[in-house]
Protein backbone atom coordinates (compact mmCIF):
# COMPACT_ATOMS: atom_id res chain seq x y z
CA UNK A 1 0.00 0.00 0.00
CA UNK A 2 2.76 2.39 0.91
CA UNK A 3 4.56 1.57 -2.26
CA UNK A 4 1.49 2.34 -4.31
CA UNK A 5 1.04 5.73 -2.79
CA UNK A 6 4.64 6.60 -3.38
CA UNK A 7 4.26 5.50 -7.03
CA UNK A 8 1.29 7.77 -7.49
CA UNK A 9 3.02 10.61 -5.81
CA UNK A 10 6.02 10.21 -8.07
CA UNK A 11 3.82 10.16 -11.16
CA UNK A 12 1.91 13.16 -9.98
CA UNK A 13 5.15 14.96 -9.42
CA UNK A 14 6.41 14.03 -12.84
CA UNK A 15 3.27 15.34 -14.53
CA UNK A 16 3.55 18.44 -12.49
CA UNK A 17 7.14 18.94 -13.66
CA UNK A 18 6.43 18.25 -17.33
CA UNK A 19 3.70 20.80 -17.51
CA UNK A 20 5.74 23.53 -15.98
CA UNK A 21 8.31 23.24 -18.85
CA UNK A 22 7.96 26.00 -21.42
CA UNK A 23 6.44 25.10 -24.80
CA UNK A 24 9.17 25.70 -27.36
CA UNK A 25 8.82 25.71 -31.12
CA UNK A 26 11.54 27.29 -33.25
CA UNK A 27 10.52 28.29 -36.75
CA UNK A 28 13.04 27.84 -39.56
CA UNK A 29 12.40 29.97 -42.62
CA UNK A 30 15.68 29.87 -44.54
CA UNK A 31 18.27 27.41 -45.62
CA UNK A 32 21.47 27.28 -47.58
CA UNK A 33 22.10 26.63 -51.24
CA UNK A 34 25.32 24.92 -50.34
CA UNK A 35 26.49 21.84 -52.03
CA UNK A 36 25.97 18.70 -49.98
CA UNK A 37 29.30 17.29 -48.80
CA UNK A 38 29.68 13.71 -49.97
CA UNK A 39 32.66 11.38 -49.93
CA UNK A 40 33.02 8.98 -52.83
CA UNK A 41 35.68 6.59 -51.61
CA UNK A 42 37.80 5.01 -54.37
CA UNK A 43 36.36 1.61 -55.13
CA UNK A 44 38.53 -1.43 -54.65
CA UNK A 45 39.54 -2.89 -57.98
CA UNK A 46 41.36 -5.91 -59.29
CA UNK A 47 45.13 -5.87 -59.36
CA UNK A 48 45.37 -5.80 -63.13
CA UNK A 49 45.66 -2.04 -63.56
CA UNK A 50 44.61 -2.19 -67.19
CA UNK A 51 41.22 -3.52 -66.21
CA UNK A 52 40.56 -1.02 -63.47
CA UNK A 53 38.39 1.98 -64.22
CA UNK A 54 38.13 4.74 -61.66
CA UNK A 55 34.40 4.51 -61.04
CA UNK A 56 34.58 6.66 -57.93
CA UNK A 57 36.30 9.49 -59.78
CA UNK A 58 33.65 9.62 -62.47
CA UNK A 59 30.81 9.50 -59.94
CA UNK A 60 32.52 12.21 -57.93
CA UNK A 61 32.99 14.43 -61.01
CA UNK A 62 29.38 13.95 -62.10
CA UNK A 63 27.96 14.88 -58.71
CA UNK A 64 30.27 17.87 -58.35
CA UNK A 65 29.44 19.11 -61.83
CA UNK A 66 25.76 19.19 -60.99
CA UNK A 67 26.70 21.90 -58.50
CA UNK A 68 24.57 20.31 -55.79
CA UNK A 69 27.31 18.17 -54.27
CA UNK A 70 30.78 18.88 -52.93
CA UNK A 71 32.98 15.84 -53.37
CA UNK A 72 35.56 15.20 -50.68
CA UNK A 73 39.13 15.28 -51.93
CA UNK A 74 40.80 11.87 -51.80
CA UNK A 75 43.77 13.25 -49.95
CA UNK A 76 41.44 14.14 -47.10
CA UNK A 77 40.13 10.60 -46.71
CA UNK A 78 41.43 9.21 -43.45
CA UNK A 79 40.47 5.69 -44.43
CA UNK A 80 39.23 3.99 -47.58
CA UNK A 81 36.61 1.41 -46.68
CA UNK A 82 35.01 -0.67 -49.41
CA UNK A 83 31.99 -1.87 -47.48
CA UNK A 84 29.62 -0.39 -44.92
CA UNK A 85 31.18 -2.45 -42.17
CA UNK A 86 34.47 -0.65 -42.63
CA UNK A 87 33.09 2.89 -42.21
CA UNK A 88 34.05 4.75 -39.01
CA UNK A 89 31.08 7.08 -39.04
CA UNK A 90 32.24 9.40 -36.32
CA UNK A 91 35.54 10.05 -38.09
CA UNK A 92 33.81 10.94 -41.35
CA UNK A 93 31.35 13.14 -39.46
CA UNK A 94 34.19 15.01 -37.86
CA UNK A 95 35.47 15.82 -41.36
CA UNK A 96 32.04 17.29 -42.16
CA UNK A 97 30.81 14.68 -44.61
CA UNK A 98 27.08 14.09 -44.79
CA UNK A 99 27.10 11.07 -47.09
CA UNK A 100 29.56 8.41 -48.15
CA UNK A 101 29.68 5.99 -51.07
CA UNK A 102 31.83 2.87 -50.88
CA UNK A 103 32.21 0.10 -53.38
CA UNK A 104 34.16 -2.50 -55.26
CA UNK A 105 34.89 -3.40 -58.84
CA UNK A 106 35.35 -7.12 -59.31
CA UNK A 107 36.27 -8.96 -62.48
CA UNK A 108 33.67 -11.46 -63.63
CA UNK A 109 35.74 -13.34 -66.09
CA UNK A 110 36.55 -12.45 -69.63
CA UNK A 111 36.31 -8.69 -69.91
CA UNK A 112 33.29 -8.35 -67.64
CA UNK A 113 33.02 -6.57 -64.31
CA UNK A 114 30.75 -6.24 -61.33
CA UNK A 115 30.37 -2.84 -59.71
CA UNK A 116 29.01 -3.10 -56.16
CA UNK A 117 28.33 0.07 -54.21
CA UNK A 118 26.59 1.33 -51.07
CA UNK A 119 25.42 4.78 -50.04
CA UNK A 120 25.30 5.70 -46.34
CA UNK A 121 24.00 8.74 -44.48
CA UNK A 122 26.83 9.57 -42.11
CA UNK A 123 24.64 11.63 -39.80
CA UNK A 124 22.30 8.83 -38.82
CA UNK A 125 24.39 5.83 -39.99
CA UNK A 126 21.56 4.74 -42.24
CA UNK A 127 22.26 2.65 -45.32
CA UNK A 128 20.36 4.25 -48.17
CA UNK A 129 21.41 2.21 -51.18
CA UNK A 130 23.10 -1.05 -52.07
CA UNK A 131 23.36 -2.14 -55.67
CA UNK A 132 25.31 -4.25 -58.05
CA UNK A 133 25.75 -3.44 -61.73
CA UNK A 134 27.55 -5.62 -64.22
CA UNK A 135 29.16 -4.25 -67.35
CA UNK A 136 31.77 -5.08 -69.92
CA UNK A 137 34.84 -2.90 -70.22
CA UNK A 138 33.45 -0.31 -72.67
CA UNK A 139 30.27 -0.14 -70.59
CA UNK A 140 32.03 0.80 -67.36
CA UNK A 141 31.71 4.50 -68.13
CA UNK A 142 27.98 4.31 -68.60
CA UNK A 143 27.62 2.10 -65.51
CA UNK A 144 29.50 4.69 -63.45
CA UNK A 145 27.15 7.41 -64.69
CA UNK A 146 24.27 5.20 -63.59
CA UNK A 147 25.77 4.93 -60.12
CA UNK A 148 25.92 8.72 -60.00
CA UNK A 149 22.28 8.85 -61.17
CA UNK A 150 21.16 6.56 -58.35
CA UNK A 151 23.04 8.48 -55.65
CA UNK A 152 21.72 11.79 -57.00
CA UNK A 153 18.14 10.60 -57.06
CA UNK A 154 18.26 9.00 -53.63
CA UNK A 155 19.49 12.14 -51.93
CA UNK A 156 17.76 14.88 -53.93
CA UNK A 157 14.58 13.13 -55.01
CA UNK A 158 15.19 14.12 -58.65
CA UNK A 159 16.07 11.61 -61.37
CA UNK A 160 19.72 11.93 -62.36
CA UNK A 161 20.67 12.83 -65.92
CA UNK A 162 24.32 11.82 -65.88
CA UNK A 163 23.88 8.88 -68.25
CA UNK A 164 22.46 11.00 -71.06
CA UNK A 165 23.86 12.60 -74.22
CA UNK A 166 24.08 16.04 -75.74
CA UNK A 167 24.34 17.15 -79.36
CA UNK A 168 26.01 20.37 -80.43
CA UNK A 169 27.63 22.15 -83.37
CA UNK A 170 31.38 22.60 -83.45
CA UNK A 171 32.96 25.08 -85.86
CA UNK A 172 36.64 24.78 -86.63
CA UNK A 173 39.00 26.72 -88.81
CA UNK A 174 38.80 30.29 -89.96
CA UNK A 175 37.17 32.26 -92.73
CA UNK A 176 36.49 31.61 -95.44
CA UNK A 177 37.03 27.87 -95.03
CA UNK A 178 35.26 26.75 -91.94
CA UNK A 179 34.54 23.22 -90.95
CA UNK A 180 31.15 22.57 -89.37
CA UNK A 181 30.46 19.44 -87.34
CA UNK A 182 27.41 18.05 -85.66
CA UNK A 183 28.66 16.17 -82.57
CA UNK A 184 26.97 13.82 -80.10
CA UNK A 185 28.75 13.34 -76.77
CA UNK A 186 28.08 12.12 -73.23
CA UNK A 187 26.45 14.69 -70.95
CA UNK A 188 29.86 15.32 -69.35
CA UNK A 189 31.38 16.19 -72.71
CA UNK A 190 33.36 12.96 -73.03
CA UNK A 191 33.15 10.49 -75.92
CA UNK A 192 32.39 12.98 -78.69
CA UNK A 193 31.26 11.41 -81.97
CA UNK A 194 31.02 13.37 -85.19
CA UNK A 195 27.63 12.63 -86.67
CA UNK A 196 27.73 14.96 -89.65
CA UNK A 197 30.42 17.10 -91.16
CA UNK A 198 30.18 19.89 -93.73
CA UNK A 199 31.99 22.83 -95.27
CA UNK A 200 28.77 24.81 -95.05
CA UNK A 201 26.90 25.80 -91.90
CA UNK A 202 24.94 23.33 -89.78
CA UNK A 203 22.26 24.57 -87.41
CA UNK A 204 19.49 23.74 -84.98
CA UNK A 205 20.05 20.13 -83.92
CA UNK A 206 16.84 18.65 -82.46
CA UNK A 207 16.48 15.23 -80.83
CA UNK A 208 13.56 13.02 -81.77
CA UNK A 209 11.51 12.03 -78.68
CA UNK A 210 12.88 8.48 -78.83
CA UNK A 211 16.45 9.73 -78.88
CA UNK A 212 17.24 7.76 -82.04
CA UNK A 213 17.35 10.58 -84.58
CA UNK A 214 18.46 14.15 -84.97
CA UNK A 215 16.80 16.75 -87.15
CA UNK A 216 18.98 19.66 -88.21
CA UNK A 217 19.47 22.37 -90.82
CA UNK A 218 22.26 22.01 -93.35
CA UNK A 219 23.44 24.58 -95.89
CA UNK A 220 25.34 21.95 -97.84
CA UNK A 221 23.85 23.04 -101.15
CA UNK A 222 24.43 26.65 -100.23
CA UNK A 223 20.73 26.63 -99.48
CA UNK A 224 19.17 25.65 -96.16
CA UNK A 225 17.41 22.30 -95.97
CA UNK A 226 16.08 20.31 -93.04
CA UNK A 227 17.44 16.80 -92.63
CA UNK A 228 16.54 13.94 -90.32
CA UNK A 229 19.39 11.56 -89.55
CA UNK A 230 19.10 8.20 -87.79
CA UNK A 231 22.09 8.00 -85.47
CA UNK A 232 22.61 4.28 -85.43
CA UNK A 233 22.69 3.86 -89.18
CA UNK A 234 23.79 7.32 -90.25
CA UNK A 235 20.96 7.29 -92.73
CA UNK A 236 19.85 10.78 -93.74
CA UNK A 237 16.58 11.96 -95.12
CA UNK A 238 16.01 15.43 -96.52
CA UNK A 239 12.57 16.38 -95.27
CA UNK A 240 12.27 19.99 -96.38
CA UNK A 241 14.09 21.80 -99.16
CA UNK A 242 11.54 24.33 -100.21
CA UNK A 243 12.46 27.56 -101.86
CA UNK A 244 13.59 30.10 -99.34
CA UNK A 245 13.96 29.44 -95.67
CA UNK A 246 13.81 25.90 -94.19
CA UNK A 247 14.71 26.26 -90.53
CA UNK A 248 14.17 25.52 -86.86
CA UNK A 249 12.88 21.93 -86.90
CA UNK A 250 11.00 20.86 -83.77
CA UNK A 251 9.70 17.32 -83.14
CA UNK A 252 6.13 16.78 -81.99
CA UNK A 253 5.91 14.72 -78.77
CA UNK A 254 4.74 11.66 -80.71
CA UNK A 255 7.70 11.96 -83.09
CA UNK A 256 5.45 11.99 -86.17
CA UNK A 257 5.57 15.67 -87.10
CA UNK A 258 8.05 18.46 -87.40
CA UNK A 259 7.23 22.07 -86.78
CA UNK A 260 9.31 24.20 -89.17
CA UNK A 261 9.96 27.71 -90.24
CA UNK A 262 9.41 28.27 -93.97
CA UNK A 263 9.29 31.44 -95.99
CA UNK A 264 7.09 32.78 -98.72
CA UNK A 265 8.51 34.21 -101.90
CA UNK A 266 8.67 37.61 -100.30
CA UNK A 267 10.67 36.33 -97.44
CA UNK A 268 7.87 36.24 -94.89
CA UNK A 269 8.87 33.66 -92.26
CA UNK A 270 6.03 31.64 -90.78
CA UNK A 271 5.59 28.41 -88.86
CA UNK A 272 4.31 25.26 -90.50
CA UNK A 273 3.77 21.70 -89.37
CA UNK A 274 5.02 18.92 -91.61
CA UNK A 275 3.59 15.44 -91.17
CA UNK A 276 6.57 13.15 -91.73
CA UNK A 277 4.44 10.24 -92.86
CA UNK A 278 1.96 11.94 -95.16
CA UNK A 279 4.15 14.92 -96.07
CA UNK A 280 1.11 17.10 -95.46
CA UNK A 281 2.07 20.67 -94.69
CA UNK A 282 -0.10 22.80 -92.41
CA UNK A 283 0.43 26.52 -92.03
CA UNK A 284 0.24 27.66 -88.40
CA UNK A 285 1.08 31.37 -88.42
CA UNK A 286 0.29 33.97 -91.01
CA UNK A 287 1.77 37.31 -90.19
CA UNK A 288 4.14 39.73 -91.93
CA UNK A 289 6.53 39.56 -89.00
CA UNK A 290 9.22 36.95 -88.46
CA UNK A 291 7.62 33.87 -86.85
CA UNK A 292 10.17 31.20 -86.00
CA UNK A 293 11.74 28.95 -83.33
CA UNK A 294 8.68 26.75 -82.71
CA UNK A 295 8.43 24.38 -79.74
CA UNK A 296 5.65 21.87 -79.01
CA UNK A 297 3.67 21.58 -75.81
CA UNK A 298 3.66 18.11 -74.24
CA UNK A 299 0.16 17.34 -75.45
CA UNK A 300 1.05 18.27 -79.01
CA UNK A 301 -1.84 20.75 -79.17
CA UNK A 302 0.08 24.01 -78.94
CA UNK A 303 3.25 25.61 -80.20
CA UNK A 304 5.41 28.17 -78.44
CA UNK A 305 7.31 30.41 -80.85
CA UNK A 306 9.17 33.66 -81.36
CA UNK A 307 7.50 36.49 -83.29
CA UNK A 308 8.38 40.13 -83.87
CA UNK A 309 4.90 41.05 -85.07
CA UNK A 310 4.77 43.57 -82.21
CA UNK A 311 8.05 45.21 -83.18
CA UNK A 312 10.79 43.22 -81.46
CA UNK A 313 10.93 39.48 -80.88
CA UNK A 314 8.62 38.20 -78.13
CA UNK A 315 7.33 34.75 -77.20
CA UNK A 316 3.86 33.60 -78.16
CA UNK A 317 1.75 30.50 -77.87
CA UNK A 318 -0.74 29.24 -80.43
CA UNK A 319 -2.94 26.17 -80.72
CA UNK A 320 -2.22 23.87 -83.64
CA UNK A 321 -5.92 23.77 -84.51
CA UNK A 322 -6.80 26.06 -87.39
CA UNK A 323 -8.15 29.47 -86.55
CA UNK A 324 -6.47 29.70 -83.18
CA UNK A 325 -5.12 33.12 -82.30
CA UNK A 326 -1.64 33.43 -80.81
CA UNK A 327 -1.31 34.67 -77.24
CA UNK A 328 1.69 36.74 -76.20
CA UNK A 329 3.59 35.50 -73.13
CA UNK A 330 6.54 37.85 -72.62
CA UNK A 331 6.12 41.52 -71.83
CA UNK A 332 9.35 42.44 -70.08
CA UNK A 333 12.04 43.96 -72.22
CA UNK A 334 12.30 44.37 -76.00
CA UNK A 335 13.92 41.06 -76.94
CA UNK A 336 12.64 37.66 -75.80
CA UNK A 337 13.25 34.71 -78.09
CA UNK A 338 13.88 30.97 -78.54
CA UNK A 339 11.40 29.39 -76.11
CA UNK A 340 12.16 25.97 -74.64
CA UNK A 341 9.69 24.09 -72.46
CA UNK A 342 10.86 22.22 -69.34
CA UNK A 343 10.03 18.48 -69.40
CA UNK A 344 7.31 18.90 -66.75
CA UNK A 345 5.98 22.08 -68.42
CA UNK A 346 6.40 24.04 -65.21
CA UNK A 347 8.85 26.46 -66.75
CA UNK A 348 9.77 28.12 -70.01
CA UNK A 349 13.41 28.95 -70.74
CA UNK A 350 14.28 31.60 -73.31
CA UNK A 351 16.82 34.20 -74.33
CA UNK A 352 16.26 37.72 -73.08
CA UNK A 353 18.16 40.93 -73.68
CA UNK A 354 19.23 42.72 -70.53
CA UNK A 355 21.75 45.53 -70.14
CA UNK A 356 22.81 45.12 -73.72
CA UNK A 357 23.65 41.46 -73.25
CA UNK A 358 21.76 38.27 -74.09
CA UNK A 359 20.98 36.03 -71.17
CA UNK A 360 19.09 32.87 -70.30
CA UNK A 361 15.86 33.49 -68.41
CA UNK A 362 13.00 31.33 -67.19
CA UNK A 363 9.33 32.04 -66.83
CA UNK A 364 7.23 30.26 -64.23
CA UNK A 365 4.31 28.74 -66.16
CA UNK A 366 2.46 27.47 -63.12
CA UNK A 367 2.35 30.59 -60.99
CA UNK A 368 2.11 34.23 -61.91
CA UNK A 369 4.52 34.01 -64.82
CA UNK A 370 7.47 35.32 -62.83
CA UNK A 371 10.57 35.81 -64.94
CA UNK A 372 13.99 35.05 -63.52
CA UNK A 373 17.21 35.82 -65.36
CA UNK A 374 19.60 32.96 -64.66
CA UNK A 375 22.88 33.97 -66.28
CA UNK A 376 25.07 37.03 -66.35
CA UNK A 377 26.99 36.77 -69.60
CA UNK A 378 26.75 38.86 -72.77
CA UNK A 379 26.14 36.10 -75.27
CA UNK A 380 24.17 33.40 -73.44
CA UNK A 381 21.87 31.79 -76.01
CA UNK A 382 20.42 28.48 -77.17
CA UNK A 383 19.06 27.05 -73.89
CA UNK A 384 18.15 23.36 -73.74
CA UNK A 385 16.71 21.52 -70.73
CA UNK A 386 18.18 18.33 -69.30
CA UNK A 387 15.55 15.55 -69.42
CA UNK A 388 15.14 15.74 -65.63
CA UNK A 389 14.39 19.46 -65.86
CA UNK A 390 16.99 20.26 -63.23
CA UNK A 391 19.55 21.93 -65.48
CA UNK A 392 19.84 23.95 -68.64
CA UNK A 393 22.74 23.67 -71.07
CA UNK A 394 23.38 26.72 -73.21
CA UNK A 395 25.93 28.36 -75.46
CA UNK A 396 28.08 31.19 -74.20
CA UNK A 397 31.22 33.03 -75.15
CA UNK A 398 34.32 33.01 -73.06
CA UNK A 399 37.20 35.24 -74.09
CA UNK A 400 36.08 35.32 -77.67
CA UNK A 401 35.45 31.58 -77.93
CA UNK A 402 32.17 29.78 -78.16
CA UNK A 403 31.71 27.45 -75.18
CA UNK A 404 28.95 25.39 -73.58
CA UNK A 405 27.79 26.04 -70.03
CA UNK A 406 25.29 24.72 -67.51
CA UNK A 407 22.97 26.52 -65.17
CA UNK A 408 20.55 24.89 -62.74
CA UNK A 409 16.89 25.54 -63.52
CA UNK A 410 16.59 27.62 -60.36
CA UNK A 411 19.69 29.60 -61.20
CA UNK A 412 21.59 28.58 -58.08
CA UNK A 413 24.45 26.77 -59.75
CA UNK A 414 26.56 27.62 -62.79
CA UNK A 415 29.16 25.39 -64.40
CA UNK A 416 31.34 25.49 -67.47
CA UNK A 417 31.51 22.33 -69.54
CA UNK A 418 34.72 20.75 -70.62
CA UNK A 419 35.07 22.21 -74.09
CA UNK A 420 36.73 20.44 -76.92
CA UNK A 421 38.39 22.33 -79.72
CA UNK A 422 36.53 24.70 -81.90
CA UNK A 423 33.66 27.08 -81.38
CA UNK A 424 30.81 25.26 -79.67
CA UNK A 425 27.23 26.32 -80.19
CA UNK A 426 23.59 25.25 -80.21
CA UNK A 427 23.61 22.42 -77.64
CA UNK A 428 20.61 20.09 -77.50
CA UNK A 429 20.19 17.70 -74.56
CA UNK A 430 18.90 14.25 -75.53
CA UNK A 431 15.84 12.75 -73.81
CA UNK A 432 16.22 9.89 -71.31
Selected from 161, 351, 392, 403, the binder of another protein by CB under 8 A is 351
**Alpha carbon of 229 to those of 232, 277, 317, 326: distances in Å?**
9, 15, 28, 32
The upper half-sphere exposure of residue 49, i.e. CA atoms within 13 Å in the direction of its Cβ, equals 0
Q: Which stretch binds another protein (CB under 8 A): 53-61, 135-143, 182-190, 221-229?
A: 221-229
Beta carbons of 169 and 204 less than 8 angstroms apart: no
| Alpha carbon distance, N-terminus to C-terminus of the chain | 74
Contact call for residue 330 and another protein (CB under 8 A) = no
Closer residue to another protein (CB): 108 or 310: 310
b/e per residue 169-203 (b: at least 16 CB within 10 A): bbbeeeeeeeebbbbbbbbbbeeeeebbeeeeebb
Angle at 350 between CA 268 and CA 417, to 5 degrees: 120
252 binds another protein (CB under 8 A): no
CB of 51 to another protein, least distance (A): 36
Shortest approach of another protein to residue 123 CB, angstroms? 4
| 292 belongs to the binding site for another protein (CB under 8 A) | yes
**Binding of residue 9 to another protein (CB under 8 A):** yes
Single out the segment in contact with another protein by CB under 8 A; choices: 116-124, 130-138, 206-214, 225-233: 116-124
Provide long-range contacts, Cβ within 8 A and 24+ apart, for 395-402: 395/168, 395/424, 395/425, 395/426, 395/427, 402/171
Element (DSSP H or E) covering residue 150? helix 140-156
The span from the CA of 60 to the CA of 277, in Å, is 45
- Closer to another protein by CB, 302 or 408: give it: 408
Measured from the CB atom, the residue of 178 and 236 that comes closer to another protein is 178
For residue 19, the minimal CB distance to another protein (Å) is 4
Distance from C-alpha of 171 to C-alpha of 402, rounded to nearest angstrom = 9
Which listed residue (30, 75, 325, 366) binds another protein by CB under 8 A?
A: 30
Kindly tell me which of 18 and 110 has the beta carbon lying closer to another protein. Answer: 18
Q: Which of 143, 259, 290, 417 binds another protein (CB under 8 A)?
A: 290
31-70 residues in contact with another protein (CB under 8 A) are 31-36, 68
> Given candidates 51, 64, 172, 223, which one binds another protein under the rule CB under 8 A?
223
Single out the residue of 309, 315, 303 nearest to residue 272, CA to CA: 303
Is residue 237 near another protein by the rule CB under 8 A? no
The site for another protein, by CB under 8 A, has a size of 91
Q: By CB under 8 A, is residue 95 in contact with another protein?
A: no
Q: Is the dihedral of CA 426, 431, 158, 345 positive or negative?
A: positive
Give the up-direction half-sphere exposure of residue 147: CA atoms within 13 A in the CB hemisphere. 34
Encoded one letter per residue, x for contact with another protein by CB under 8 A and - for no contact, window 118-147 reads ---x-xx-----------------------
Beta bridge partners of 100: 39, 120
Does residue 264 belong to the site contacting another protein (CB under 8 A)? yes
Question: Which span sits near another protein by CB under 8 A: 57-65, 82-90, 107-115, 350-358?
Answer: 350-358
Per-residue DSSP letter, 379? B
CB of 105 to another protein, least distance (A): 28
| 400 lines the binding site for another protein (CB under 8 A) | yes
Among 245, 374, 386, 407, binds another protein (CB under 8 A): 245
Contact positions with another protein (CB under 8 A) in 150-179: 155-158, 174-175
**Choices 49-57, 73-81, 104-112, 238-246; region in contact with another protein by CB under 8 A:** 238-246
Closer residue to another protein (CB): 60 or 307? 307
Specify whether the CB–CB gap between 270 and 309 falls below 8 A.
no
Which of 350, 274, 352 is CA-nearest to residue 312? Answer: 352
**Residue 377 contacts by C-beta under 8 Å, 6 or more apart in sequence?**
357, 358, 359, 396, 397
Nearer to another protein, 128 or 195 (CB): 128
Binding positions for another protein, 309-328, rule CB under 8 A: 313
Using CB under 8 A as the binding rule, whether residue 335 contacts another protein is answered as yes
Q: What binding mask, one character per residue, do residues 178-217 give for another protein by CB under 8 A, x or -? A: -----------------------x-xx-------------
Note whether 268 binds another protein by CB under 8 A: yes
Phi-psi group of 122: left, alpha or beta (phi > 0 → left; psi -120 to 50 → alpha; rest → beta): alpha
* Coil, strand or helix at 154: helix
Closer CB to another protein, 234 or 311, in the complex: 311
Amino acid sequence: MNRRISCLAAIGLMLFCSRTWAELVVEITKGQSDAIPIAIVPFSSPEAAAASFDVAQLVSDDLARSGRFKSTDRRDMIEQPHTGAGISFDDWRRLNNDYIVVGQVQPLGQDRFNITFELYNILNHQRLLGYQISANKPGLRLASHQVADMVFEKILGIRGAFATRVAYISVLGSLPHKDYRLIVADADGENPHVVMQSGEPLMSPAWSPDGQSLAYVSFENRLPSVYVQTLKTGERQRVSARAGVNQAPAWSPDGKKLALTLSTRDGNLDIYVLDLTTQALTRITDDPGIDTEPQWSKDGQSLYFTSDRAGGPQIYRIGTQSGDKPRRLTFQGSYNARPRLSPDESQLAFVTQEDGGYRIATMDLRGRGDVQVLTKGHFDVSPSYAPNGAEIIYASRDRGRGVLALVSADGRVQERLVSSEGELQEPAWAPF
